[in-house]
Structure formats: structure tokens, C-alpha cells
């Protein structure tokens, strides 16, 4: 059965982004206007405790790892209520104490099945190993974060989620599912790249307070702001599906790309974005999209697009992995 696009929502990424917005967490894609409006939901002493400890964590140089354990991983794990959300952070703390993701995977049978198709488990284990070197500070941070979560839930978010946010976001999800059902975007990308999409579905989780284009939630899930226009979300999903077909375990198993994927994953991600920016221009015609303005064509990507396009367009036998490899070599100075 051909994988389908599924639009949904969930408590965890919404309440976490609410907290990030109100705390103005450095490096997160929070919505500062939303945070100012809802800053009252966090007590002054909670804010002060968090600010003091988070600054200490920032000096450890583990921003990416902190983002993974405070947002990406907990948002990826299903949770129907606040008790489950808090329990998920307990399991994450245990994994940090052990310096391995193994216990976390074992705690949620089936949940992380797609993770090994996304990247080697060792790739994520390194997050927990790095955090384990300062586990007392990190676990203390998680405990303070949990305390803030529970306080915000009890004072405000419980009623807000059930009576307002969840209702309007679920309504939007239904509208978007109708939008995506007629055209199989995944299948069109598969044919274009001659690569099989490795997951059973592509999930878009709608959230309220975010200003980012889209944020990756590991494997086959992304978060997108619920209030974007149809066309904007449509264009985001087209790009992100292409990205998810390319940025998965295949780049780690490709002989040429393997060392780059392990050592320079962020740079490779930018090259993949550039590849998608170029290739999807042809796809826009199939999707009957006339507005070709592209939010992904930012400065660092824009510099790479002409380099990739020259390599890709000159290939008689299209090999996307070789094109990515050649592009990397072209933009990386030889020292």
C-alpha cells in the first residue's frame, strides 16, 4: 500500500511549544508574541529557576542534544494526558542517567520502530552519552521543566487545550486531510528520485505557537503551524516529503555519503534542502502551483542551489546520492 500524508495534532508538542514560547528558550522556534501573551501562565520563581539553570546548561555546548530530549523525542512519543507527558520525561531522564537510548526504546514497544530507518541508533545514543557526562545538571533541568509543565497545565493549559486549542487545531487537521487526499505527493517524489519512501506514512502534527516553517520530529513526523494558509502548508509538505526521502538511513549506508552524514550532518541537510528546492520546481507544475516563491530558499541554501542544479541537470543517469556527494565536494574547501 502506498504511504499517505496524515495531518493530525497532539498534546505534547503543543504544550511544550507553549512552555518554550513563554520561557523564550534560546534556540527554539517559539512564537514570541504568543509567549508574551501567555507569559502569565508561568510563575516568576519558575522563570527565574529555569533561567539560572538553563544558562548553566548552555555553557555545556549541548544545545542540539537538549533540543532532542526536551522537544523532539518527547513530542514523538504518543501521550494522551499530562501524566503520560510527565512519564515520558521520566523515561528520558533514566536514559540520560544510563547514557544510552536503549531503555527508552524498550519502554515504548513499537513507537521507535521507524528510528532505525531514519538514522543509526548510535546516532541518537551519542546524544544521551554526551548528556550523561553532565547528568546531574541535565536531569535537574528536566525535573524543573516537568514542574513548570505541571504547574502550567493545572493553572491554565488543561482548560485551554480541551476547550479551545485542541478543538480549533483538530478542525484544521480535518480540512488539510481533505486537501492532501486527492494527490499522492509521496508517490510523485518516489518516481522523481527513484527512491522508495521508507515509512508507512508522512505525519504532519499541527501546533499553535510556532513561527518556524516546519520542525522535524525524527523519522516521519514534522510539526507545522496550524494557522498557515493552505498553499503555504501544501508547499511545506511537498518540500518536507522530498527531504524525508533523502535524509534517512540511506545516506548513512551510502559508501560516499556515510562519513559526511556522520560528521557533517547539518551541512548535508542544507545540501538536501537545496536539492529539494531545485527539483520541486518541476513538481510544482504537476501540482498546478503557480506561486513558486519558496520559504526554504534562504541564504545558505540559495548559495548551493545553482551548484546542485548544474550537477543534477547535467547527469544523464540521475543518481541523487552522487549529486549530493558531488555538491558537498564542490562547496567544501580542500584543506
35-56: pLDDT as tens digits: 889 989 999 988 888 887 777 7
Collect contacts of 226-230 with beta carbons under 8 A, ≥24 apart.
226/9, 226/168, 226/169, 226/172, 226/173, 227/172, 230/175, 230/176, 230/179
Range 174-188 average pLDDT = 90
How do residues 119-129 score in pLDDT, each as one tens digit? 999 888 988 99
pTM for the structure as a whole:
0.92
How do residues 248-284 score in pLDDT, each as one tens digit? 999 999 999 999 998 898 899 999 999 999 999 888 8
Give the per-residue pLDDT at 190: 93
Nearest to 97 by CA among 62, 142, 58: 142
User: CA 317, CA 224: separation in Å to the nearest integer?
Assistant: 35
Give the per-residue pLDDT at 108: 94
79 sits in the region (left: phi over 0; alpha: psi -120 to 50; else beta) called beta
Domain assignments of the chain as residue spans, ordered by start: 9-166, 185-331
Please name the residues in contact with 8: beta carbons below 8 A apart, sequence gap of 6 or more: 173, 203, 204, 205, 206
Residue 233 has pLDDT above 50, yes or no: yes
How do residues 86-120 score in pLDDT, each as one tens digit? 999 999 999 999 999 999 999 999 999 999 999 99
User: CA 20, CA 30: separation in Å to the nearest integer?
Assistant: 6
Residue 27 has pLDDT above 80, yes or no: no
Give the per-residue pLDDT at 293: 84
How do residues 221-230 score in pLDDT, each as one tens digit? 999 999 999 9
Nearest to 297 by CA among 227, 239, 211: 239
CA atoms 65, 71, 77, 81: torsion sign: positive
Give the per-residue pLDDT at 26: 56
User: CA 298, CA 101: separation in Å to the nearest integer?
Assistant: 34
Contact 65, 127 (CB under 8 A): yes
- Mean pLDDT across the chain: 90
Nearest to 327 by CA among 289, 281, 278: 278
- Give the model's confidence band at 292: pLDDT under 50 very low, under 70 low, under 90 confident, else very high: confident
Amino acid at each position: 500500500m502506498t504511504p499517505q500524508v496524515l495531518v493530525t495534532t497532539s498534546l505534547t508538542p503543543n504544550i511544550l511549544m507553549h512552555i518554550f514560547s513563554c520561557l523564550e528558550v534560546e534556540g527554539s522556534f517559539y512564537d514570541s508574541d504568543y509567549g508574551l501573551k501567555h507569559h502569565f501562565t508561568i510563575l516568576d520563581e519558575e522563570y527565574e529557576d529555569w533561567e539560572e539553570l538553563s544558562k548553566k546548561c548552555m555553557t555545556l555546548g549541548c544545545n542540539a542534544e537538549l533540543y532532542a530530549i526536551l522537544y523532539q523525542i518527547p513530542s514523538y512519543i504518543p501521550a494522551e494526558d499530562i501524566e503520560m507527558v510527565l512519564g515520558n520525561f521520566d523515561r528520558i531522564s533514566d536514559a540520560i542517567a544510563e547514557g544510552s537510548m536503549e531503555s527508552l526504546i524498550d519502554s515504548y514497544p513499537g513507537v521507535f520502530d521507524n528510528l532505525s530507518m531514519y538514522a543509526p541508533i548510535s546516532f541518537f545514543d551519542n546524544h544521551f552519552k554526551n548528556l550523561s557526562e553532565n547528568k546531574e545538571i541535565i536531569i535537574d533541568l528536566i525535573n524543573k521543566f516537568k514542574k513548570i509543565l505541571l504547574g502550567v497545565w493545572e493553572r491554565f493549559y488543561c482548560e485551554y487545550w480541551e476547550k479551545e486549542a485542541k478543538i480549533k487545531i483538530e478542525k484544521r487537521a480535518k480540512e488539510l486531510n481533505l486537501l492532501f487526499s486527492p494527490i499522492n505527493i509521496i508517490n510523485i517524489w518516489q518516481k522523481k528520485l527513484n527512491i522508495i519512501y521508507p515509512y508507512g506514512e508522512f505525519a504532519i502534527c499541527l501546533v499553535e505557537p510556532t513561527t518556524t516553517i516546519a520542525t522535524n520530529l525524527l523519522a516521519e513526523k514534522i510539526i507545522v503551524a496550524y494557522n498557515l494558509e493552505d498553499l503555504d502548508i501544501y508547499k511545506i509538505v511537498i518540500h518536507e516529503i522530498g527531504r524525508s526521502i533523502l535524509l534517512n538511513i540511506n545516506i548513512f549506508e551510502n559508501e560516499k555519503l556515510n562519513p559526511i552524514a556522520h560528521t557533517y550532518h547539518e551541512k548535508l541537510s542544507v545540501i538536501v534542502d537545496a536539492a529539494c528546492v531545485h527539483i520541486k520546481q518541476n513538481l510544482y507544475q504537476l501540482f498546478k502551483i503557480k506561486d513558486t516563491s519558496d520559504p526554504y530558499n534562504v541564504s545558505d541554501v540559495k548559495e548551493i542551489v545553482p551548484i546542485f542544479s548544474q550537477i543534477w541537470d547535467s547527469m544523464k543517469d540521475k543518481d541523487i546520492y552522487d549529486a549530493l556527494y558531488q555538491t558537498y565536494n564542490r562547496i567544501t574547501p580542500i584543506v
